[in-house]
Amino acid sequence: MNKLKLWLEQTMMISFAILVGILIEGLVYSFTGDPLCSFSMSWLQLLSIVITGAVCSIPTLFWLTDDLPRNKFILRIIIHCIGLYAVVALLGFVFKWFEHLDGFIFMTVIYFLVYIFVWLVTLWFHKRDDNRINKALDDIRDDE
């Protein structure tokens, strides 16, 4: 698969999932009515979401695109997850996605939900591509 296409797909999925997570956080704050917690979305935060998605998709290109034995692949996924968590936590602090401990905890929960979501969608995309390729090969075999 073209690495640029993979990077763009990952960037879009990660950015979308982060945006949904932050919007859910805003809804939770709205419903709880906690005066210490406020929610607002600015253009800088939207830009920070895209930047975070782009930065977080780069390690995927280098760490997880090789064909590896299953045990090494699982180890790489764990390292990938922890490394990206550190990046997201740092960027969340820099871009002020959270101001209190409960915001950081909520961001952590959102991170792991986003991580799982992106993996599931990526696996679904690859499975869909595999099915298309297999169907095309079957069609070629049928023509012969």
Residues 63-114 have pLDDT tens digits of 656 666 767 777 888 888 898 899 888 988 888 877 778 878 888 988 898 8
Sign of CA dihedral 62, 109, 87, 76: negative
Q: What is the pLDDT of residue 85?
A: 92
Cα–Cα distances (Å) from 90 to 32, 41, 93, 114, in that order, read 27, 19, 5, 16
Percentage of the chain exceeding pLDDT 70 = 88
Contacts of 11 (CB under 8 A, 6+ apart): 50, 53, 54, 57
Residue type, 95: F
Return the structure tokens found at 108. Answer: 């952590």
Residue type, 140: I
Q: What is the pLDDT of residue 35?
A: 60
Residues 122-140 have pLDDT tens digits of 888 889 988 888 888 888 8
* Residue position matching structure tokens 């879009």: 12
Nearest CA-CA partner of 56 in 29, 85, 78: 85
Q: What is the pLDDT of residue 34?
A: 64
Nearest CA-CA partner of 39 in 20, 52, 25: 25
Q: Is the pTM above the cut of 0.75?
A: no
Q: What is the pLDDT of residue 36?
A: 58
